Amino acid sequence: MMKIEAIIRPERLEQVKKALEESGFVAMTISDVLGRGEQKGIKLQYRGGVLDVDMLPKLKLEIFVRDEAVEQVMKIICDAGRTGKYGDGRIFVIPVAMSGKVRTGEVEK
């Protein structure tokens, strides 16, 4: 099993969720996060001045999938989340050694 963490633009969430759900990937966790990548933030014009915003609002999508589904899920997220501009996000794949269900106590390896 693998954990996929995707940092995406907030405005692309609905497209990403819909694409994942249409492919049968319905279980996910979404968190509000702040971050920056290579662009190191942005500069905004505000009341005649320039405002540096170095941490931008993003969303972190976490989804657990079987090993054989990783590339499919990564492609779905990329295709649905891409705008072609800096700041579209990143995807990380992390091995999961074990998981368990709180309600039933069932353990999966």
CATH of the domain at 8: 3.30.70.120
In angstroms, rounded to a whole number, what is the distance separating the alpha carbons of residues 35 and 56?
5
Alpha helices by DSSP H, listed for the chain, are 13-22, 70-81
pTM of the full structure: 0.86
The tokens describing 2, both together, are: 């693998």
Length of the chain in residues, anyone?
109
In angstroms, rounded to a whole number, what is the distance separating the alpha carbons of residues 9 and 56?
9
pLDDT at 60: 99
pLDDT at 47: 79
pLDDT at 109: 82
In angstroms, rounded to a whole number, what is the distance separating the alpha carbons of residues 75 and 107?
29
In angstroms, rounded to a whole number, what is the distance separating the alpha carbons of residues 8 and 16?
9
Range(s) of the domain holding residue 43: 2-108
Mean pLDDT of 17-34: 98
Q: What is the pLDDT of residues 46-92, one digit of tens each?
A: 778 887 778 889 999 999 999 999 999 999 999 999 999 988 999 99
Q: CA torsion 94→95→96→97, rounded to 10°?
A: -150
How many structural domains does the chain have?
A: 1
